[in-house]
Copies of this chain bind each other. A is one copy, B any other.
Amino acid sequence: MLNFELYNPTRIIFGKDRLDSIDKHVPANARVLITYGGGSAVKSGLIAKIKTILGNRKVDEFGGIEPNPRYTTLMKAAEIVKKDKIDFILAVGGGSVIDGTKFICLAAHYEGDAEELLKTGFRRITSDVVKKVVPFGTVLTLPATGSEMNSGAVISHKHGKYPVMSDLTFPVFSILDPTLSFTLPKIQVANGIVDAFVHTTEQYITFQVGAKIQDRFAESILQTLIEIGETTVKEPENYVMRANHYWSATLALNGLIGAGVPQDWATHMIGHELTHLFGIDHAQTLAIILPALLEVRRKKKHAKLLQYAERVWDIKTGTEDEKITNAIRLTREFFERLGIKTRLSEYGVKSEQLENIVDHLKAHGLHALGETDDHNLETSRAILKKAF
């Protein structure tokens, strides 16, 4: 087991009919900004309900935070926060709204040029850099990214996607009411399952370090997602299934299963380029890249892939290589049963565009990826080739 530090002060308020707790956890005389996305939270009446619960507090709204939230959009909200002396932000939505809100909280009172915050990479932004951060809570309406219980964000700007990390941007609280997601389009539910699944594999299918309990927790999440995935897509109002989807997605990226183990994240890094270049949904890029990556990296990942095959997919027969081949096949088939295509060609990408993708990886400096930093541009090219 590797040394680790684990800190997560977000209060999770989980279950049916929990919106009333907003009143308890938002300071009584705060001036509040509600942030949201495309407007379904308005149409459904959710925003109105939340405003009623906020009672006499003065409330501003900022809608229109897009999927893969953009710096320029978020800076408009940051201006409002500064101008209107907002004390507390309430993010209502999925990972994009929550990620975007984290950036708003950091940028609003940042004394330098906020573009600098995009260049911090995986270094955690401290209070030496951003002296005043606006606190925020979330109401999650789409189980997928885990942003509701972590302090990271991915922000899009010009030609790239930028990670922004800070201990200062944990939500104070997150309300996870699975019923709020009952009206989601099926594709978003399916995306959410894939997103949580690949968050888990990024922290699990690497190499052995004797972290037995972390491995089993990761396997628990994968098995649960496999068990509930199809049903929660087909039966949106099946509470038990959706509750397990919600909680698994949160646990997949709240720091817990990644504590003390190596991590990969190459599937995400390559996937980001596909979203950027072709507008493919984030989760779908993961479903395209993961099976191909596991094939190309199967020697490096042999021991963990075998463990994945035996424990997650319960594959007991065949040679080690056959077990691994079957596990990768079952992974792909699982994504496809959810309604997510797993081939680049199925999204209209042509093989002539392969080098363009590699060029973008190169331009973004992504020539040493993976849990051992030896996943180079050549490896990425091989993965992309296999992904068609």
Interface residue A220 (Cβ < 8 Å from any Cβ of B)? yes
The segment out of A6-14, A98-106, A360-368 that lies at the interface is: A6-14
- Which chain A residues numbered 339 to 358 have a C-beta less than 8 Å away from chain B? none
A213 with B248: CB separation less than 8 A: yes
A4 with B14: CB separation less than 8 A: yes
In angstroms, how far is the closest chain B Cβ from the Cβ of A220? 3
Interface residue A217 (Cβ < 8 Å from any Cβ of B)? yes
- Complex-state Cα separation, A2 to B6, whole angstroms: 26
Interface string of A218-236 (1 = CB under 8 A from B): 0111011001100000000
Interface residue A58 (Cβ < 8 Å from any Cβ of B)? no
- Which chain A residues numbered 169 to 198 have a C-beta less than 8 Å away from chain B? none
Chain B residue with Cβ nearest A8: B8
- Complex-state Cα separation, A6 to B10, whole angstroms: 8
Q: Which of A1, A13, A213, A227 has the most CB of B within 10 A?
A: A213
Q: Which residues of the other chain, B, contact A214 by a CB distance below 8 angstroms?
A: 247
A243 with B16: CB separation less than 8 A: no
Interface residue A337 (Cβ < 8 Å from any Cβ of B)? no
Interface residue A210 (Cβ < 8 Å from any Cβ of B)? yes
B15 with A4: CB separation less than 8 A: yes
Number of chain A interface residues as a range: 35 or more
B3 with A213: CB separation less than 8 A: no
Question: With A3-B16, A13-B5 given, is the CB distance from A220 to B213 under 8 Å?
Answer: yes
Selected contact of A216 from candidates B2, B4, B18, B223, CB within 8 Å: B223
B221 with A220: CB separation less than 8 A: no
- Which chain A residues numbered 115 to 165 have a C-beta less than 8 Å away from chain B? none
Selected contact of A5 from candidates B14, B220, B221, CB within 8 Å: B14
Interface residue A46 (Cβ < 8 Å from any Cβ of B)? no
B5 with A244: CB separation less than 8 A: no
- Complex-state Cα separation, A260 to B210, whole angstroms: 29
Interface residue A288 (Cβ < 8 Å from any Cβ of B)? no
A240 with B14: CB separation less than 8 A: no
Protomer copies = 2
Interface residue A212 (Cβ < 8 Å from any Cβ of B)? yes
Q: Which residues of the other chain, B, contact A33 by a CB distance below 8 angstroms?
A: none
Q: Is the interface of A mostly helix, strand, loop or mixed?
A: mixed
Interface residue A259 (Cβ < 8 Å from any Cβ of B)? yes
- Complex-state Cα separation, A11 to B9, whole angstroms: 9
In angstroms, how far is the closest chain B Cβ from the Cβ of A260? 6
Q: Which residues of the other chain, B, contact A260 by a CB distance below 8 angstroms?
A: 14-15, 243, 247
In angstroms, how far is the closest chain B Cβ from the Cβ of A215? 8
Selected contact of A227 from candidates B212, B223, B240, CB within 8 Å: B212
Interface residue A205 (Cβ < 8 Å from any Cβ of B)? no
Chain B residue with Cβ nearest A252: B213
Interface residue A251 (Cβ < 8 Å from any Cβ of B)? yes
- Complex-state Cα separation, A216 to B247, whole angstroms: 12
Q: Which residues of the other chain, B, contact A228 by a CB distance below 8 angstroms?
A: 212
- Which chain A residues numbered 260 to 287 have a C-beta less than 8 Å away from chain B? 260
- Complex-state Cα separation, A24 to B372, whole angstroms: 30
- Complex-state Cα separation, A12 to B12, whole angstroms: 19
Question: With A213-B247, A260-B14 given, is the CB distance from A9 to B6 under 8 Å?
Answer: no
Given contacts A3-B18, A8-B8, A213-B251, list 7 more A-B pairs with CB under 8 A: A1-B244, A5-B11, A8-B9, A211-B243, A213-B224, A219-B220, A247-B260
Pick 21 A–B contacts, CB within 8 A, sort by A. A1-B14, A1-B244, A3-B14, A3-B18, A6-B14, A7-B12, A8-B9, A9-B9, A14-B260, A211-B244, A212-B224, A212-B227, A212-B244, A213-B224, A213-B244, A213-B248, A213-B251, A216-B220, A216-B223, A243-B260, A256-B256
